[in-house]
Amino acid sequence: MKRFVYINDDDLSPELYCDNRISNRKYTLLNFLPKNLWEQFSRFMNQYFLLIACLQLWPLITPVNPASTWGPLIFIFAVSATKEAWDDYNRYLSDKKANEKEVWVVRQGSKKLIQAQEIHVGNLVWLRENDEVPCDLILLGTSEPQGVCYVEGVIECPNPDKDIRRFDANVRLFPPFIDNDVCPLTIKNTILQSCYLRNTDWACGNETKLGMSRGVPEPKLTAMDAMIDKLTGAIFIFQIVVVIVLGIAGNIWKDTEARKHWYVLYPDEGPWYELLIIPLRFELLCSIMIPISIKVSLDLVKSLYAKFIDWDNQMVDLETGTSANATNTAISEDLGQVEYILTDKTGTLTENKMIFKRCCISGTFFGNENGDAVKDVELLNAITTGSPDAIRFLTVMAICNTVIPIKSPSGIVSYKAQSQDEEALVRAAASLHMIFVNKNSNILGINPCSLWVIT
């Protein structure tokens, strides 16, 4: 099923489509209490404690005051609900910060500053370098020389979905041209939400793919919680076996011995549920096998452990000054139980420091494992004497990549690349006096000299 997006039509878009407001909250004021209780009672331990508390409301079988169980139970649910409410409030603050972030849009031929939540389908968004993309966009033009911008037309596209690898659409330009009034669009023409703009000064172009892929947040259960639930279930099964055995023995004793003693006051005929009284009494007596205090202790310790993470002055990023923040107080203990880390390369876990150590040119090796090839005397002599193989090798290093050189008015050249591997090779070539200085749609410019300043 397709829909039509009218570009830069502020009158029609708000009526047809939703705004760009994002929300990662689990609860609202209306559904917090029932939804939170449902999540808490989805755990077997809480179901068990509720069963014991309900049984203690029956005066015929309970040996203690029901308040001794209901008080701690209500306290447990209050602590858990307070933690969930606090975590959800933090998510609300994060959403509020993202929704109120200022974004430039182009309306009536001029740029206007609005909040990200006010963006509507069909708006033209103007992004600058290093800006975070506020929503899914179609790239219409950039500051690069080959960038082209179309500002009038209609986009024929499928309904929003969560497939981040596919986007098939067409843009119809106004007024229609003879040969190219319909331009195809693919996923390569899109910029997805929460990406950052790189390698260009600017670009213009919420039911986003990222938002639809996120799904409904599920209650998080730590490894310790799962283990305690399993142990609780095993103990409960053992209790049932004990209760059945003792209940049968108690009813047999009642019918054979107890009725003979006048002071026991057992009636000759009891109610239909008489057979359940003795087993249920034993169930309440055996309930101390699973102390309710364990639940109280776990919830309080989890909250305190999360605060210790926030208070730790040594868990700070020295470059940005950002301290650790436990955004979820329910799963903090899982940090100490990580067994495997899956990563695409070692650079993800290191500082990605890449050094051009060795190379081979026409069968001759330069550099070594412990040094830097750009300081190799033999390689520098080969470049100085104009060795054709060395010059060709450096030329390939400098231009066979997707790196974009940026030259400032003062002559300083900086490089921007998606791959740090490519950037490292280009910088190595520049250090060896083969400087990549210009890149257009059909022209690559290099300068085999050392008069440029590289940053």
Whether the upstream peptide bond of residue 160 has omega within 30° of 0, thus cis, is: no
Cα separation, 414 vs 404, whole angstroms: 9
Cα separation, 378 vs 414, whole angstroms: 28
Confidence check: pLDDT of 31 > 80 = yes
Q: What is the pLDDT of residue 349?
A: 57
Cα separation, 330 vs 338, whole angstroms: 16
| pTM, full prediction | 0.61
Confidence check: pLDDT of 206 > 50 = no
Q: What is the pLDDT of residue 171?
A: 64
In this prediction, residue 340 has a pLDDT band, given cuts at 50, 70 and 90, of: confident
DSSP notation for 234-278: HHHHHHHHHHHHHHHHHHHHHHHTGGG-GGG---SS--TTHHHHH
Residue predicted with more confidence, 440 or 384: 384
In the 3-class helix/strand/coil scheme, how is 5-59 assigned residue by residue? EECCCCCCHHHHCCECCCCCCCCCCCCHHHHHHHHHHCCHHHHHHHHHHHHCCCC
Cα separation, 214 vs 208, whole angstroms: 10
Find the radius of gyration of the CA atoms of the chain. Answer: 35
Question: Under a CB-based contact definition with an 8 Å cutoff, are residues 164 and 209 in contact?
Answer: yes
Residue predicted with more confidence, 13 or 236: 236
**Dihedral, CA of residue 40, residue 44, residue 49 and residue 54, to nearest 10:** 90
Question: What are the distances in angstroms from CA 129 to CA 203, 416, 446?
Answer: 8, 11, 25
Catalytic option among 11, 179, 268, 344: 344
Residue with tokens 């015929």: 60
Confidence check: pLDDT of 198 > 60 = no
pLDDT per position as a tens digit, 299-331: 778 878 888 888 888 888 887 788 887 777 667
Helix (H, G, I), strand (E, B) or coil at 190: strand
Confidence check: pLDDT of 344 > 80 = no
Residue predicted with more confidence, 442 or 96: 96
In this prediction, residue 398 has a pLDDT band, given cuts at 50, 70 and 90, of: confident
For 384, phi and psi rounded to 5 degrees? -65, -40
Question: What are the distances in angstroms from CA 257 to CA 154, 158, 254, 262, 322?
Answer: 91, 80, 6, 11, 74
Average pLDDT over residues 365-379: 82
Q: Counting beta carbons within 10 angstroms of the beta carbon of residue 20, is it exposed (0 to 12), middle (13 to 18) or buried (19 or more)?
A: buried
Active site residue 344: yes
Amino acid identity at 304: L
Question: What are the distances in angstroms from CA 285 to CA 45, 63, 291?
Answer: 17, 8, 12
DSSP notation for 80-138: HHHHHHHHHHHHHHHHHHHHT-EEEEEETTEEEEEEGGG-BTTPEEEEETTPBP-S-EE
pLDDT per position as a tens digit, 406-423: 777 777 888 877 777 888
In this prediction, residue 186 has a pLDDT band, given cuts at 50, 70 and 90, of: low
Average pLDDT over residues 149-154: 50
Average pLDDT over residues 97-118: 84
Q: What is the pLDDT of residue 167?
A: 66
Q: What is the pLDDT of residue 150?
A: 45
As given in the structure block, the two tokens for residue 448 are 């085999």
Confidence check: pLDDT of 103 > 80 = yes
Residue predicted with more confidence, 211 or 169: 169
Domain ranges of the chain: 2-20+119-214, 358-454
Q: What is the pLDDT of residue 238?
A: 92
Cα separation, 149 vs 171, whole angstroms: 12
In this prediction, residue 347 has a pLDDT band, given cuts at 50, 70 and 90, of: low
Residue 162's closest CA among 216, 206, 213, 207? 213
Spell 250-288 as b/e; 16+ CB within 10 A means b.
bbeebeeeeeeeeeeeeeeeeeeeeeebbbbbbbbbbbe
Residue predicted with more confidence, 236 or 223: 236
In this prediction, residue 42 has a pLDDT band, given cuts at 50, 70 and 90, of: confident
pLDDT per position as a tens digit, 232-274: 889 889 989 998 998 888 888 877 776 677 676 666 666 777 7
Cα separation, 415 vs 422, whole angstroms: 10
